[in-house]
Amino acid sequence: MSVARIAVVAGDGIGPEVVAQARKVLDAVLPGVEATEYDLGAARYHRTGEVLPESVLAELADHDAILLGAVGDPTVPPGVLERGLLLRLRFDFDQYVNLRPSRLWPGTTGPLASVKPGEIDLVVVREGTEGLYAGAGGALHRDTPAEVATEESLNTRHGVERVIRDAFARAGRRERRKVTLVHKTNVLTHAGSLWARAFAAVAAEHPDVETEYQHVDAAAMFLVTQPQRYDVVVTDNLFGDILTDIAAAVTGGIGLAASGSINPERTYPSMFEPVHGSAPDIAGQGLADPVAAVLSVSLLLDHLGHPEAAERVSNAVAAELASRTPGERGSTAEIGDRLVAHAAG
Amino acid sequence: MSVARIAVVAGDGIGPEVVAQARKVLDAVLPGVEATEYDLGAARYHRTGEVLPESVLAELADHDAILLGAVGDPTVPPGVLERGLLLRLRFDFDQYVNLRPSRLWPGTTGPLASVKPGEIDLVVVREGTEGLYAGAGGALHRDTPAEVATEESLNTRHGVERVIRDAFARAGRRERRKVTLVHKTNVLTHAGSLWARAFAAVAAEHPDVETEYQHVDAAAMFLVTQPQRYDVVVTDNLFGDILTDIAAAVTGGIGLAASGSINPERTYPSMFEPVHGSAPDIAGQGLADPVAAVLSVSLLLDHLGHPEAAERVSNAVAAELASRTPGERGSTAEIGDRLVAHAAG
Ligand SMILES: CC(C)[C@H](C(=O)O)[C@@H](O)C(=O)O
Ligand SMILES: CC(C)[C@H](C(=O)O)[C@@H](O)C(=O)O
């Protein structure tokens, strides 16, 4: 029997290159993983018109986790792969915890003058199955002066409370034990009230965890001026989309950012992927940095109950980044080899 | 006859202090302004329970512009002053252009290591009367496990096109002539499509203006990593709320940020205010920096057709900031006196 059955969606552009390194590292720290490759993304869409056939969705469901590289290219119309593949998986597999850690790793430099490596270590717990991502909306009188278009944010107590619970559980395992709720309760009063009341209820069960609330505009600002203040941030789907890119920006860019779309109960497979895209301009040249994909493997291992292997992987990344000479990091595969060596050693 | 009739809402906390300096500067560059004070904000709400009586709304309508300091304090429930006063004015007075310029002024330092003063000079044209701010939404089964809450983003071709037109007109008067549309067309496909089509239509009328499109998450990131790339940014109400706080953060904080809620046709009065809040913790001590309020006066003057006076005010601010010794800027009133001197000289 295999230790874990992983579906691998390498995808487009640099996706296959970084996923190859991620798999090398995964095999090194957890031998015996059974990996099955699935051909999904822009290339398949162009070739066959298919985004995610039902039969493939059913096969994916029969895995412990999904490792994804990157999908998309500029010629696919907006929304096709997003709604048809990425969001489809998040929603159908009930991946309600969209987990995005951000650290300013020793050895790297961020854009902020006053922040030193090691000082930023936060994780955004973004809701993944509700809000404005529900796909509820429509349009009337298209292409006339009377046109109206709507987008609806749907929020349930069920969906909001469970992601807040996850955030508090994660905070309880961290050193600072602090959770910041981010919303816009002063304008989005209905959803804001639901989030605030669910947050207060869960907070009452965790007297050992410090809490704070911030409006999303203030949080966006403080992520730039004082990112050190955050530990765990819990927020809705769209706010999380925006805030995690700011958090990535202040920690050296999305090139280093990993993410997990997690179903904590493991009823369905969770998906792990680097935040960066398929970067078609540098694809196939060994120029991509596989670090974000490898960090995604660390999140995957942690989710599957291998915290020690997960830590070996993140320690390998830490060692790699700390030892880099600017401008001389080597090819994608060379970085992968060094990461394997660090993880093994 | 007065040159302009201005309604002044000094508000709470540091509002009255910074507005006093703003009025000194206004009087210095445009003598003969008739100013009427209105007592609105947290203090009035606590005293009388009133937020914005109909009779006051009618009186405000009979002015050329409104100058606002800051309203609010932590004891007012979320949404009361926002919906009842600020958003009420934006919506009732059809202030559909929410204008927020951001400059990294010579003499100031921002948080970004690689950006030098003078290198950031952008303006966000945020839609002010639609989107998620419409107040459309509701909740069912409150305080039960079955609770659901919604927020609806309403977007009309009318509302979207007119603010895009304003952005292109402003870009045409600037040196770089570039407009960036920010939305999330890959997820918010209905509203995104409306925005993208309206943008393309207006762009076709302005072949001399360069255009680009970015998703809001990418724009949030690039505002941190490459804020220099932006000239005019046009976006929806909520995205604009978030992006303008990031733009303020990378240009030294909301302490320096001014804004206008503008009805370009002047059918109704426009409102000008510093972006900062009432800061009750430092109120009444002469510690507040009136620069953002004074910059709001510059926007007010420009809107009322006094571009030369507007420029004298912004030049005064530039001179003030360039001449500051860190930690020794003096009291609110002293700064105001220097600004008056700069504007007069
Ligand atoms: C590609 C897009 C659907 C996605 C999102 O908006 O969630 C991406 O921006 C992300 O953050 O994972
Ligand atoms: C106070 C609030 C209603 C307001 C907004 O969200 O527009 C503020 O954040 C702003 O940016 O002017």
Tell me the per-residue pLDDT of A12-50, one tens digit each, with 9 for 90 and over.
Answer: 999 999 999 999 999 999 999 999 999 999 999 999 999
Name the residue with tokens 């992520």. Answer: A223
pLDDT of res. B253: 83
Q: Are residues B149 and B250 both part of a single domain?
A: yes
Q: Are residues B192 and B332 both part of a single domain?
A: no
Q: Are residues A215 and A234 both part of a single domain?
A: yes
Which ligand 2 atom is at minimum distance from the Cα of B87?
A: 3
Single out the residue in B262, B293, B319 at which a domain terminates: B262
Contact present, B306 and B43 (Cβ < 8 Å): no
Write the single-letter amino acid at B243. L
On average, the pLDDT of chain B sits at 97
Q: Is pLDDT above 80 for A1?
A: no
B287-326 b/e with 16+ CB inside 10 Å = b? ebbbbbbbbbbbbbbbbbebeebbebbbebbebbbeebee
Percentage helix, strand, coil for chain B under 3-state DSSP, each rounded to 5: 45, 25, 35
Q: Which of helix, strand or coil describes residue A202?
A: helix
Which ligand 1 atom is at minimum distance from the Cα of A237?
A: 7
Contact present, B301 and B29 (Cβ < 8 Å): yes
Q: Is pLDDT above 80 for A152?
A: yes
Q: Which residue in B137, B189, B194 is closest to A190 by CB distance?
A: B137
Q: Is the Cα dihedral B290, B293, B299, B305 positive or negative? A: negative
Give the mean model confidence (pLDDT) for residues B221-246: 98
- Token readout for A56 is 């493939």
Tell me the per-residue pLDDT of A153-179, one tens digit each, with 9 for 90 and over.
Answer: 999 999 999 999 999 999 999 999 999
Q: Are residues B106 and B68 both part of a single domain?
A: no
Q: Is pLDDT above 80 for A230?
A: yes
Of the listed ranges A178-182, A276-280, B250-254, the one predicted with least confidence? B250-254
Q: Which one of A51, A86, A153, A272 would you pick to mutate in the ligand 1 pocket, going by the greatest count of ligand atoms within 8 A of its CB?
A: A86
Which domain range does residue A131 map to? 99-255
Q: Are residues A240 and A305 both part of a single domain?
A: no
Closest residue of chain B to A138, computed from CA coordinates: B190
Q: Are residues B78 and B191 both part of a single domain?
A: no
**Does the global pTM surpass 0.95?**
yes
Give the integer Cα–Cα distance in Å for B342 and B153: 45
Contact present, A4 and A31 (Cβ < 8 Å): no
Name the residue with tokens 């239509």. Answer: B201
Give the integer Cα–Cα distance in Å for B38 and B56: 8
Q: Is pLDDT above 80 for B1?
A: no
Can A337 be counted among the known catalytic residues?
Answer: no
Q: Are residues B106 and B151 both part of a single domain?
A: yes
pLDDT of res. A2: 83
Q: How many domains does chain A have?
A: 2
Q: Which of helix, strand or coil describes residue A86?
A: helix
Single out the residue in B199, B234, B262 at which a domain terminates: B262
On average, the pLDDT of chain A sits at 97
Tell me the per-residue pLDDT of B326-336, one tens digit each, with 9 for 90 and over.
Answer: 888 999 999 99
Give the integer Cα–Cα distance in Å for B195 and B193: 5
Mutation site, A71, A157, A222, A241, interface B, largest B CB count within 10 A: A157
Residue B54 sits in a domain whose CATH number is 3.40.718.10
Quickly state the pLDDT bin for A254 (edges 50, 70, 90). Answer: confident
A218 Cβ closer than 6 Å to some ligand 2 atom: no
Closest residue of chain A to B192, computed from CA coordinates: A149
Q: Are residues A46 and A72 both part of a single domain?
A: yes
Q: Are residues B21 and B151 both part of a single domain?
A: no
The three-point CA angle B132-B133-B137 to 5° equals 65
List the one residue out of A141, A133, A189 whose CA is nearest residue A163.
A133
Give the mean model confidence (pLDDT) for residues A298-308: 98
Q: Is pLDDT above 80 for B219?
A: yes
pLDDT of res. B49: 97
Ramachandran area for residue A327 (φ above 0: left; ψ -120 to 50: alpha; else beta): left
Q: Cβ contacts of residue A308 below 8 Å, gap of 6+?
A: none
The alpha carbon torsion through A238, A241, A242, A247 (nearest 10 deg) reads 150
Single out the residue in A238, A255, A272 at which a domain terminates: A255
Active centre residues of B (catalytic): 133, 184, 217, 241, 245
The DSSP letter of residue B325 is P
Q: Distance from the CA of B83 to the center of ligand 2, in angstroms? A: 10
Can A217 be counted among the known catalytic residues?
Answer: yes
Q: Are residues B116 and B252 both part of a single domain?
A: yes
Q: Distance from the CA of B98 to the center of ligand 2, in angstroms? A: 10
Quickly state the pLDDT bin for A316 (edges 50, 70, 90). Answer: very high
Q: Are residues B242 and B336 both part of a single domain?
A: no
Q: Are residues A241 and A112 both part of a single domain?
A: yes
- Percentage of residues in chain B with pLDDT exceeding 90? 96
